[in-house]
Amino acid sequence: MHGDLEALEFILERAETLDCGRFVFLGDYVDRGEHSIEVLCRLFQLKIDHPENIVLLRGNHETSEINICYGFYHDLDRDEELFTLVNRTFDRMPVAAVVNGSVFCAHGGIGDPVSLDLIEKEDCFAYLWNDPCDDPGLAISAQRGGTEMFGPDVCEEFLRINGLEKIVRAHSTLETGYKWWFDGKLLSMFSIPDYCGMKGKGAFALMEKGNIEIFAFGRDIEGSYSLVSSGNC
C-alpha cells in the first residue's frame, strides 16, 4: 500500500461488494506515500477487529533499516520510542501464508527451494526481498544489489517440494498492476496505481478454490479510483 490510504479504502470497498471475508495483505504498508500512518492504523484496527480474517504479511519496508530511510520515520516526527514500538510490531508479522492449501504468498518471493517447515521467520530476507526472473537458478540482482532473483526452475521445485500450485508476491512496481510469470505459476501484484507519481494501475485478486480473479484499477477522468478490468485466470 505504501501509504496510499485511498487505494486501501478502494480495495476494501470493492472487497465488500465481492463478499470477500478474508484478506491477505502482501506487505509494504509504509514509506513512499503520504499516508503511511493512516494506512497502518486502518490495517491494525482491521486486524484487531477481525484477527482471524486479516493477515498482514511483512514487506521489506516493515524493517527498521528501510523505514528509517524512506519516509516512515519522518512521518512519525522522528519519535524514537514510537518508531521502536512500531518496528517491534513489524518484527512479529508473519512472512508468508498459504491460501486455500495451494497458494504460497510472500512479499518478495522465495530463495533456495525448501520445505515450508524449514522457513525461519528470523531468516526471512529472501521472502521479503527476492524477485522472479526468466533465467533459471538463483542469481544476485543487479538492480537491487544484495538480493537475489529466482528463475522458473526454482519456483517449480519450491512448489513441488511443498505440494503447492502457485506463488503470489508483490514488491515490484507494475504499470498494469499485475504480471504472470512462469506459465501461470507465479503472480506478481502491485496494489497502488500512483506509486511515486507513476500513474499506472493497481491490482488486487480474489482467490476462490483454485481460481484467481484479478481486478485492476486506476484513476478515472474525474480523478477517482475506479475499476478498469477484471478477469478469471
Active site residues: 61
Total residue length of the chain: 233
Q: How far is the CB of 129 from Mn ion (least distance, A)?
A: 8
C-beta separation of 198 from 182 below 8 A? no
Q: How far is the CB of 61 from Mn ion (least distance, A)?
A: 6
Examine residue 28 and tell whether it contacts Mn ion (CB under 5 A): yes
- CB closer to Mn ion, 10 vs 195: 195
Alpha carbons within 13 angstroms on the beta-carbon side of residue 207 total 19
Residue 189's beta-bridge partner residues?
Answer: 178
Residue 180's beta-bridge partner residues?
Answer: 187
- Record the cell numbers describing residue 67, joined without a space: 523505514
- What residues between 111 and 150 interact with Mn ion by CB under 5 A? none
- CB closer to Mn ion, 27 vs 152: 27
CA neighbor of 192 nearest in space, from 181, 183, 182, 200: 200
For Mn ion (CB under 5 A), the number of binding residues is 4
CB closest to Mn ion, residue no: 171
- CB closer to Mn ion, 14 vs 61: 61
- CB closer to Mn ion, 118 vs 196: 196
Helix 36-49 and helix 5-17: axis angle, to 10°? Answer: 30
Per-residue interface string for the shown chain with Mn ion, residues 40-69, x marking contact by CB under 5 A: -------------------xx---------
Examine residue 171 and tell whether it contacts Mn ion (CB under 5 A): yes
CA neighbor of 18 nearest in space, from 211, 224, 219: 211
- Residues forming contacts to Mn ion in the complex (CB under 5 A) are 28, 59-60, 171
